[in-house]
């Protein structure tokens, strides 16, 4: 069995990794919604994966978020609004957890970047 060494350590930053533009389907995204995930680790959406994310101002409606997600904001500002109208805003330097099944909206208020880990279960 091979023991990992420093060559196995992966940088997590915007522009590093496999670029993925998630498709949410239907009319869930506002016309200005733009996002790119830069996946640094994890090859399957059946196992944990993560990397860096960048998004432009816009809104994404979320009906039953597909996985648990840990987010650490690097730049910008985003808000999550639940189905009852509750709102939480997060800025650079803040970390938060979005539980699988969350329903509401993700609002990218200004151009933003984050580090994320998606935890399918």
Note the pTM of the prediction, 2 decimals.
Answer: 0.91
pLDDT of residue 86: 98
6-34 burial, b for 16+ CB within 10 Å, e for fewer?
eeeeeebebeebeeeeeeeeeeebeeebe
Answer whether residue 27 is part of any domain: yes
Tokens, residue 64: 């039953």
Helix (H), strand (E) counts: the chain: 0, 8
Tens of pLDDT, residue by residue over 81-99, are 999 999 999 999 999 999 9
Answer whether residue 78 is part of any domain: yes
As a whole number of angstroms, the distance between CA 29 and CA 3 comes to: 43
Domain of 79, in residue numbers = 10-119
| Tally of domains in the chain | 1
pLDDT band at 110 (very low <50, low <70, confident <90, very high): very high
Tens of pLDDT, residue by residue over 29-69, are 999 999 999 999 997 778 999 999 999 999 999 999 999 99
If you average pLDDT over every residue of the chain, what do you get? 94
CATH number at residue 69: 2.60.120.10
DSSP code for 8: G
As a whole number of angstroms, the distance between CA 102 and CA 121 comes to: 14
Helix (H, G, I), strand (E, B) or coil at 6: helix
Answer whether residue 106 is part of any domain: yes
Answer whether residue 1 is part of any domain: no
pLDDT of residue 92: 97
Answer whether residue 3 is part of any domain: no
pLDDT band at 23 (very low <50, low <70, confident <90, very high): confident
As a whole number of angstroms, the distance between CA 25 and CA 12 comes to: 27
pLDDT of residue 46: 80
As a whole number of angstroms, the distance between CA 85 and CA 71 comes to: 21
């Amino acid at each position: 069995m091979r023991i990992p060494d420093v060559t196995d350590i992966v940088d997590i930053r915007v522009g590093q990794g496999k670029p993925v533009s998630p498709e949410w389907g239907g009319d869930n995204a506002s016309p200005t919604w733009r996002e790119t995930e830069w996946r640094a680790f994890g090859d399957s959406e059946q196992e944990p994966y993560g990397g860096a994310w960048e998004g432009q101002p816009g809104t994404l409606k979320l009906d039953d978020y597909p996985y648990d997600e840990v987010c650490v904001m690097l730049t910008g500002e985003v808000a999550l609004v639940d189905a009852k109208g509750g709102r939480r805003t997060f800025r650079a330097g803040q970390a938060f957890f979005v539980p699988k099944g969350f329903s509401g909206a993700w609002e990218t208020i200004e151009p933003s970047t984050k580090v994320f880990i998606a935890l399918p279960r």
